[in-house]
Amino acid sequence: MTRIIADISVSLDGFVTGPDPGPDNGLGTGGEALHRWAFSADPADRRVLREGTARSGAVVLGRRLFDVVDGPKGWDDTTGYGAGEVGRPAFVVVTSSTPESVRTAGLDWTFVTTGLHDAVAAARERAAAASSDSGTDLDVILMGGGSTIGSALEAGLVDALTLHLAPVLLGAGTPLFPGEAPRTPVQRSVIPTSTATHLTYDLFR
């Protein structure tokens, strides 16, 4: 069964970027510390990253995050989804307009201009097809940014939430929970490592 899983790194004070994020500074000032775990040599961090990317049948992201990862300082042959750990799932971008060109043209991009619900539905179809092809249940991963995941949580679109809690205080930036999300989390796993605490919750109304 395909689930919708929001998966994102967050600071101890609840920010998914540092201050002043932008296309040339995607994680904001100091925000690189949020993803230190993804490049860690800690075996537990590597396992979390490997398992998370392996279950990705399709990935949803917002336009601002797309502009970062597709920008000149974005993904390349050594740094991409899952820090190059496994595979290349389909990517679905929520956007008001389709970009004129795509630098990372080797990836499978779909641009949805009719809203988050339709983007998640399109990603679910892609993940279901990938599951059928592989013979393994694969999920839709909401990778961000923070406003996209926040909107999905508020809309009740998310089945599970995986947080990579980084031991850093950013003080400002993009908050993961800017409003009240009408869901009840049930903790399913806690994996502490040398660089983060990986938390997984099932979400229920």
What average pLDDT does this structure show over 160-182?
87
Pairing of strands 184-192, 197-204: antiparallel
**In which band, very low, low, confident or very high, does the pLDDT at 82 lie, cut at 50, 70 and 90?**
low
pLDDT exceeds cutoff 50 at 182 = yes
When pLDDT is cut at 50, 70 and 90, the band that residue 86 belongs to is very low
Instruction: Indicate whether 199 pLDDT > 60.
Output: yes
Task: Please count the residues of the chain.
Answer: 205
Fold classification of 4-204 is Dihydrofolate Reductase, subunit A (3.40.430)
Q: Indicate yes or no: pTM above 0.85.
A: yes
Q: Where are the domains of the chain?
A: 4-204
Q: Which residues contact 134 (CB under 8 A, 6 or more apart)?
A: none
Interaxial angle between packed helices 116-134 and 146-154, expressed in degrees from 0 to 180 and rounded to the nearest 10: 90
CA dist 47 and 69 (Å) reads 23
Can you state the percent helix, strand and coil of the chain, rounding each to 5? 30, 30, 40
Q: What is the 3-state secondary structure (H, E, C) of 1-21?
A: CCCEEEEEEEECCCECCCCCC
pLDDT of 106-137, one tens digit each?
889 999 999 999 999 999 999 999 999 889 99
